[in-house]
Structure 1
Amino acid sequence: MRIVRLQTSDGVVTAAQTSHGFQRILGDPASPLAVDPAAAELGHVVEGEVLAPVVPGKIVAIGLNYLDHIREASMDVPQSPLIFTKFPSSVIGTGSAIRFDPSEIRRVDWEVELAVVIGRSTRSVPAAAALESVFGYTVANDVSAREAQFADGQWVRGKSLDTFCPLGPAIVTADEIPDPQRLALGTRVNGESVQDSSTKEMVFGVAELISYCSRFFTLEPGDLILTGTPWGCGEFMTPQRSLRDGDVVETWIEGIGEIVNPVLAPAA
Structure 2
Amino acid sequence: MKLLRYGASGSEKPGLLDSEGNIRDLSGIVPDIGGEWLDDDNLHRIRSADIAKLPLVGQGQRIGACVAIPVNFIAVGLNYADHAAESGMPLPSEPILFSKAPNCIVGPCDDVIIPPASSGLDWEIELAFVIGKRAWNVEESDAMQHIAGFCICNDISERTWQLEGTGQWLKGKSAPTFGPLGPWLVTRDELDDIGNLAMELKVDGRTMQSGSTKTMIFGVSFLVSYISRFIELQPGDVITTGTPPGVGMGMKPPVFLKAGNVMELSIWGLGEQRQMVR
In the other structure, the counterpart of 1:168 is: 182
1:20: how far off? 5.6
Structure-1-length-normalised TM-score? 0.94
Q: Is residue 219 of structure 1 aligned with residue 220 of structure 2?
A: no
In the other structure, the counterpart of 1:86 is: 100
Q: 2:48 aligns with which of 39, 50, 58?
A: 39
In the other structure, the counterpart of 2:2 is: 2
Partner letter of residue 114 of structure 1? L
What SS class does the counterpart of residue 227 from structure 2 fall into?
Answer: helix
**Does structure 2 conserve the Cα–Cα contact (< 8 Å) formed by 1:64 and 1:70?**
yes
**Structure 2 unaligned blocks of 5 or more:** none
Partner letter of residue 27 of structure 1? I
Aligned residues: 261
Please tell me the root mean square deviation across aligned C-alpha atoms, in Å.
Answer: 1.4
Aligned 1:1-268 pairs, distance under 5 A: 1-7=1-7, 11-18=11-18, 19=20, 21-25=22-26, 26-32=28-34, 33=38, 34-36=42-44, 37-42=46-51, 43-47=54-58, 48-55=61-68, 56-101=70-115, 104-151=117-164, 152-264=166-278
Partner letter of residue 3 of structure 2? I
**Does structure 2 conserve the Cα–Cα contact (< 8 Å) formed by 1:234 and 1:241?**
yes
Deviations 1:169-195 (A, max 9, x none): 010110001221110112100011100
Structure-2-length-normalised TM-score? 0.90
Hey, which bits of structure 1, 4+ residues long, moved more than 6 A?
A: none
**Structure 1 unaligned blocks of 5 or more:** none
1:153: how far off? 3.1
1:41: how far off? 4.2
- Over the matched positions of the two proteins, sequence identity in percent amounts to 38
**Does structure 1 conserve the Cα–Cα contact (< 8 Å) formed by 2:114 and 2:259?**
no
What SS class does the counterpart of residue 149 from structure 1 fall into?
Answer: helix
More strand by share: 1
What SS class does the counterpart of residue 169 from structure 1 fall into?
Answer: coil
Partner letter of residue 31 of structure 1? I
Deviations 1:139-160 (A, max 9, x none): 0000000000002332111000
